Structure 1
Amino acid sequence: MTIVATKPYVEFKKEGYWIIGTRISLDSIVYAFRKGLLPESIAQVYPLLDLEKVYGAITFYLANRSDIDAYLMAEEQAFDSLPQPLQIEAPALHQKLIAAKKSVQQT
């Protein structure tokens, strides 16, 4: 019987999770997965990722779901707390973006 060692697909560097060997964040894969995209569709959206890496990233997320969800929530809060110059320069556009974000979060 041959024993197959597991391969790492995700690494933590520069304060974020990344798919090993790419510049694609785990965040991108997780958000696509949460929206209901199948791994095959995610691989089409990110042509640098083969299906194995997509499944590996999703498996990593599911195995560490509470930690990754907390990380994503902290990232969203940090982003939301940044100064928003668009609020001043283009308030109508800013309101449209906020409305779009809320509608996406409700789905």
Structure 2
Amino acid sequence: MTFSITLEPVPLELHPDGVVRVGGTRVTLDTVVAAFNQGATAEEITSQYPSLQLADVYSAIAFYLRRQEEVEQYLQQRQHHAQEIRHQNEHRFDPEGVRDRLLARRR
């Protein structure tokens, strides 16, 4: 019997919008890392996100653990970008009085 060890590619894809997704799904690396950091196991993560394969979640977690500093920088950039977009949206669409404006439209 011969046993061969082959390298498996990391199941992460960097999309043109700058978001890293896991296992060819729409689930982001951010989501998997956040769940892992909150104490979820790989099995629990796949239970929460059925489109993920268990092996892909383990690979994503291993990638994170091996490159924690890089991934944390990526996560900080994503968070900063999300805050910028939130700020732009709040500037464009003032959240004050939304309920009153919606009720006025209804009348």
Return 68-77 or 16-25, whichever deviates more: 16-25
Q: Is the 8 A contact 1:11 1:19 kept in 2?
A: yes
Where does structure 1 lack aligned partners over 5 or more consecutive residues? 92-107
Q: Compute the TM-score of the two structures, normalised by the length of structure 2.
A: 0.73
The TM-score, its normalising length taken from structure 1, stands at: 0.73
2:94 counterpart (83, 88, 100): 88
Contact 1:10–1:60 under 8 Å retained in 2: no
Q: Which residue of 1 aligns with 2:13?
A: 11
Tell me the equivalent position of 2:3: 2
C-alpha separation between the residues in 1 aligned to 2:24 and 2:5? Answer: 21
Paired residues of 2:12 and 2:24 also in contact (CA < 8 A): no
User: Structure 2: which 5+ residue stretches go unaligned?
Assistant: 98-107
- Aligned CA-pair RMSD: 2.0
Q: State the partner residue of 1:34.
A: 37
* Matched positions, count: 91
SS in 1 for 2:13: strand
1:61, 1:74 → 2: CA distance? 16
State the shift of 1:35 in Å.
1.0
Q: State the Cα distance separating 1:18 from its structure 2 match.
A: 1.4
CA contact (8 A) 1:39 1:55 kept: yes
Change (3 A) 1:90 1:37: farther
Identical counterparts, % of pairs: 29
